[in-house]
Structure 1
Amino acid sequence: MSAAKAKAQKIIDENAVAVFSKSYCPYCKDTKSLLNDLGAKYYIIELDQVDDGSDIQRALVEINGQSSVPNIYIKKEHIGGNSDLQAKKGQLKALLTDAGAL
């Protein structure tokens, strides 16, 4: 397993909510805004601000098939991107509570 894949998997495994993001991405900003509005505790990694960000993004494609950001996990389950998270708005509070993130 590559170092980037191991790092990505460790982030997914060790955090109730993990968001792989890029600081300039408007969809990532929408995701962070929604989570912040709900008061969620989440781990965020800005892939454009870490040296191995592009390697981690490639590793996420291997892990879940998604190449875009945001790439969101709740309780180790791949949620998808911002549109997937927004579509779960009605059940998001329950998901976050169940994950221990609220």
Structure 2
Amino acid sequence: MSDAKIRAEQLIRENGVVVFSKSYCPYCTSSKKVLDNLGAKYEVLELDQDAEGSAIQAALEEISKQRTVPNIFINQKHIGGNSDLQAIKSSQLPALLKEAGAL
């Protein structure tokens, strides 16, 4: 297993909420705003600012079958991207965040 995959899986395992992001991506910014507005605690990894970013992005595709960012995990479950997060923000998201210990 690659170091990048080990690091990605460790972040997912050790944090209730993880957003794999790119600092210039408007969809990533939108997802982080949703979480910020709910007062959620979350870990963010800006792939474009990390030396292993492209390797981690490739590992995430293996883990989640999704290559695009944001790539969001809550309570070790793959949520998806920004549109997936937006779709659940008023219905399931608060309960998921509470369950993950992020609220």
TM bracket (short chain): over 0.9
Partner of 1:30: 30
| Structure with more of its chain in helix, by fraction | 1
**1:41 matched to which residue of 2?**
41
Residue-by-residue CA offset, 1:14-59 (whole Å, 9 max, x unaligned): 0000000000000000000000000000000000001000000000
CA distance in 2, matches of 1:22, 1:38: 21
Q: Cα RMSD (Å) of the superposition?
A: 0.4
Kindly tell me the number of residue pairs found equivalent between the two proteins: 102
CA positional deviation for 1:3? 0.3
SS at match of 1:30: helix
- Match of 1:20, SS state, is strand
Paired amino acid for 2:100: A
TM-score (norm 2): 0.98
> How many Å separate the matches in 1 of 2:31 and 2:9?
20
What are the equivalent positions in structure 2 for 1:2-17 lying under 5 Å apart? 2-17=2-17
CA distance in 1, matches of 2:22, 2:41: 18
Runs of at least 5 residues in structure 1 that lack an aligned partner in the other structure: none
Match of 1:60 in 2: 60
- Is structure 2 residue 95 aligned with structure 1 residue 94? yes
Aligned residue for 1:69, secondary structure, equals coil
**TM superposition score normalised by structure 1:** 0.99
Identify unmatched segments of 5+ residues in structure 2.
none
Q: Which contiguous aligned blocks of 4+ residues in structure 1 show a shift greater than 3 angstroms?
A: none
| Counterparts of 2:99 and 2:5, CA distance in 1 | 26
